[in-house]
């Protein structure tokens, strides 16, 4: 197996933004994360019709890296197949201040672009993009806000 060359320059400045976990029921999963690990909900549940999902962000002892609980919004959701296989770790999300450039660089490095940048329901005024590498773990790029804030904000209030 060929090793990734360690002397190559980084393709993007990588700051872990959140960890996405696919669940069957947001309220049940929220209860488990609250009682087991002390997480708390950040804002309310958000419906994202483009991603065909309901999402809920959680904050724990390390507020810099929230957890995003994700549940399909119906039987035709693009997430339904993954949930039938058991759910669990769904994606790793990284913040970016150059989403178009990072998508191009990561694609040139062998990642597959699953979804080009689109407006994000959970991050008003920002875009997200989806990629996947050989490891099979989906990667979400989240455009950083102008103020440099990385956390989710309630889509009903200004960012």
Total-model pTM: 0.84
The model's pLDDT over 75-114, given as tens digits with 9 standing for 90+, comes to 999 999 999 999 999 999 999 999 999 999 999 999 999 9
Phi first, then psi: what are they for 107, rounded to 5°? -65, -45
Between CA 88 and CA 69 the distance in angstroms is 10
- For the chain, list the domains and their CATH numbers: 15-143 (3.10.180.10)
Distance from C-alpha of 148 to C-alpha of 123, rounded to nearest angstrom: 13
């Amino acid at each position: 197996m060929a090793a990734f060359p360690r002397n190559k320059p980084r393709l993007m400045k990588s700051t872990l933004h959140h960890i996405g976990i696919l669940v069957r029921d947001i309220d049940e999963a929220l209860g488990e994360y609250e009682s087991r690990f002390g997480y708390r909900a950040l804002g309310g549940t958000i419906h994202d019709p483009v991603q065909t999902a309901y999402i809920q962000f959680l904050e724990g002892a390390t507020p810099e890296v929230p957890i995003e609980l994700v549940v399909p919004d119906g039987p035709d959701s693009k997430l339904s197949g993954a949930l039938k296989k058991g759910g669990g770790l769904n994606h790793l999300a990284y913040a970016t201040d150059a989403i178009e450039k990072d998508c191009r660089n990561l694609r040139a490095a062998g990642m597959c672009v699953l979804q080009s940048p689109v407006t994000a329901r959970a991050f008003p005024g920002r875009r997200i993009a989806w990629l996947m590498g050989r490891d099979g773990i989906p990667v979400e790029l989240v455009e950083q806000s102008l103020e440099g804030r990385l956390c989710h904000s309630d889509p009903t209030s200004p960012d």
